[in-house]
Amino acid sequence: MNAAVRVEAMKLVRSRVGLIGSAAIVAGILALCGGMLLALAAGDPQLVAKLGPDASLTWAGLWSTAAQITSAGGLLAFGVVAAWLFGREFGDGTITGLFALPVGRGAIAAAKLIVFALWAAAVGTLLAGALLALGLIAGFGVPDAAAWAGAGRQIALGLFSAGLAVPAAWVATAARSLLGGVSVAIGLVVVAQVGVVAGADGWMPLAAPALWAISAGAAVSGVQLTVTLAFVALCAAGTVWWWHRLQLDR
């Protein structure tokens, strides 16, 4: 199992998809947040209306803005990487060679998920650190306890977003298609956004982490977040199970 984790980590670190995905999440969200702060400073009324009443040139406003962007853009980027991790084996024709390894396909799938979670934690932590630097540059002052709590929620939101992208890995496996997984990643973003616009509360697993982060934990309970975790665990278990039952048919 340790060998499988090392190999899968090497695949991701050396891949362009991993590099581009990391840059899209960290640099992309950071750039968008910086642009939002500049627009707020200029008093753009349309942007203020879109960001809602929490939009402000404060630490709380920065974390709220970052959470809104991460809930959509982050979920899509995580989904693309998850689909690549699993779907590339079919697209590149390497799945056949995996059957000759002493490590079972279920263990390989578990290793891929472990590497994906570790990568998401690293990217989320790097993004939170970059946002803290952005807040300091913007003149929000030394982060207080509430600002550090916001950074913690941002890291947690990144992990939740990565977990919610696991269905893309499951579908990429079932369909034996990278594009199939990417399509599901896009669909997850659409469903989550429509759910939020429609007023879905924390009982909707795809929207609960974003609502929790945007509201600083006020709008979603621990039980509702547990439902989201159960959904992620179910999708992860389903992906491993599907890999365990894989058969060569060509």
pLDDT digits over 173-190, tens only?
Answer: 888 888 888 898 898 888
User: What is the number of other CB atoms lying within 10 angstroms of the CB of residue 104?
Assistant: 16
State the greatest distance between any 2 C-alpha atoms of the chain, in Å, as a whole number.
62
Q: Residue 21 is encoded by which pair of tokens? A: 């995905």
Report which of residues 159 and 194 the model is more confident about. Answer: 159
Q: Residue 100 is encoded by which pair of tokens? A: 């000759």
Report which of residues 92 and 20 the model is more confident about. Answer: 20
Stretch 75-102: mean pLDDT: 86
Give residue 141's pLDDT. Answer: 85
Whole-structure pTM value: 0.88
Please give the C-alpha separations between residue 180 and each of 11, 84, 111, 184, in angstroms, as whole numbers: 21, 10, 21, 6
pLDDT > 90: percent of the chain: 34
pLDDT band at 50 (very low <50, low <70, confident <90, very high): low
Would the pLDDT of 193 be above 90? no
Closest CA to 17 of 85, 116, 90, 112: 85
pLDDT band at 238 (very low <50, low <70, confident <90, very high): very high
- d(Cα 117, Cα 112) in Å, to the nearest integer? 9
pLDDT band at 131 (very low <50, low <70, confident <90, very high): very high
Stretch 91-116: mean pLDDT: 86
Stretch 187-198: mean pLDDT: 80
Report which of residues 247 and 32 the model is more confident about. Answer: 32
Give residue 90's pLDDT. Answer: 85
Mean pLDDT of all residues belonging to the chain: 86
- d(Cα 66, Cα 64) in Å, to the nearest integer? 5
Q: Residues 33, 155, 179, CA angle at the centre, nearest 5°?
A: 80
Please give the C-alpha separations between residue 40 and each of 31, 45, 55, 211, 233, in angstroms, as whole numbers: 14, 8, 8, 22, 39
Q: Residue 76 is encoded by which pair of tokens? A: 């899509």
- d(Cα 249, Cα 214) in Å, to the nearest integer? 47
pLDDT band at 222 (very low <50, low <70, confident <90, very high): confident
In sequence order, which ranges of the chain are alpha helices (DSSP H)? 2-13, 16-23, 29-41, 45-51, 59-69, 75-91, 95-98, 105-137, 145-164, 166-175, 178-197, 208-214, 222-244
- d(Cα 43, Cα 98) in Å, to the nearest integer? 56
pLDDT band at 95 (very low <50, low <70, confident <90, very high): confident
Give residue 155's pLDDT. Answer: 94
Stretch 134-154: mean pLDDT: 90
Stretch 157-170: mean pLDDT: 92
158, 123 contact by CB (below 8 A)? yes
